[in-house]
Chain A
Amino acid sequence: MTETSSIQVRINGDDREIPPGLSVSGLLVWLDLNPALVVVELNREILDRGRYEESYIVEKDLLELDHFVGGG
């Protein structure tokens, strides 16, 4: 039996291949992002920081990774 080597998800409007079995925390580490500076929507629902560890990403998930930028 072979394990799937990657799954396809949609992150910030782009299709991406990511390793299977990642939690949201794991994904942020994999993308080299600081969780304290990121806000996450998983399938259009805002995810509290406290749930990053327990929320696992599966094929076809829709993720938005947002942050604060300069604005008026």
Chain B
Amino acid sequence: MIRHMFKLIWNRKRRNYLLISEIFFSFVVLFAVSTFALFTGIRLSEPLGFDYEDVLVVQTNYEDAQQTDSLSEREVKDIMATMERELRSCREVVDVAWGSSNLPWAGSMWRTSYIYDGIERDYSIHYVSDHFADVMTMPLLEGRWFNADDDAAAITPIVINRKVCETTFGDKPAIGQIITDDDDETPVDFVVIGVVDEYRYRGEMEVSEPSIFFRRTHEDSLTLYAGTALVKVRPDAGVGFQKTITDRLAEISHGWIIGVEALEDARNESLRNIKINALPGVIVALFLVFNVALGLFGILWYSVSRRRGEIGVRRAAGALAAHISWQIIGEALVMATFAILVGIILAIQVPLLDIQPQISTAIYLLAMICSSLMIYMIVAVCAMYPSRLAARIQPAEALHDE
């Protein structure tokens, strides 16, 4: 029976060309939407590598303030240290750390290339203080985080994330490996002292990238200063505490503070923007699929009324009502199969040509399966009513009408 349907649709391919094309375009749109949805879903379910809850971000504009107020480097560092002491004195504060401006969801990146084993690779770099891992609840896979012992280190210590291990060291143990910066005349070596898991600081939608953490203290040069404070607060701190911090630090710093924001709010804002950006695509996809469904429904209905004679003959030859019903649904599914096959040939080019390296082949394959199933479901639902109409056709009437 299935072969019979394939023959029938193949022989009617010219008549069904437009409908098959329409289903094909729907498949392509659904494939794009499914890929995005699966990619997003998987990204959202993967660990970020840190905890954003109960963390406040205190942004300072020390660089501008330094110029305006003609403060010396020493004075700036002293004010920073005083701010930290003030924060730590608050009952609501659990811990305080400092970081460079490319903090989670800050929308800022800092990339550079270093050499390992003669090969230059790109890394995302982060300047952070000794308490950064505690404030951000970043578990260490190996080694240790920065501490005061590193003040006397002969080689600059670095902490890396797992991605660096995978991309740079392969199977070799990471601790003790040396990465070199040879941008300047005198190459500078960095030694790995610790490995954290992930650090997806650009948010859930971004893949994990190789990240290297460098240690910064209040005594370091202001050139590469970690000037944004991260404050871990108690869960009961409340929203009002942000205002308290703003006021108290503004007093100490003579107005350096430009904003205090919960890290969770920054995350929610980022997710909201993703949803807003995705909305037009989803609306267009739904509109197209709805149009295809309507078109398909209309064409199948019309086709049933045009094929009354054929249905009458089939009934006369012994077809049960269920056979006729299945014939109509089956033919629609066969048309969908032709459209999906062409769609898959096109869709498979995306992973083959590596158009979006961030998205794995498995996601593309899953998206192909999902969009195929959705197309089959839509087509079957659209064919349901026309197929019931066809099954109700009385053979004597149908043959007489012809």
Are the chains A and B members of one assembly? no
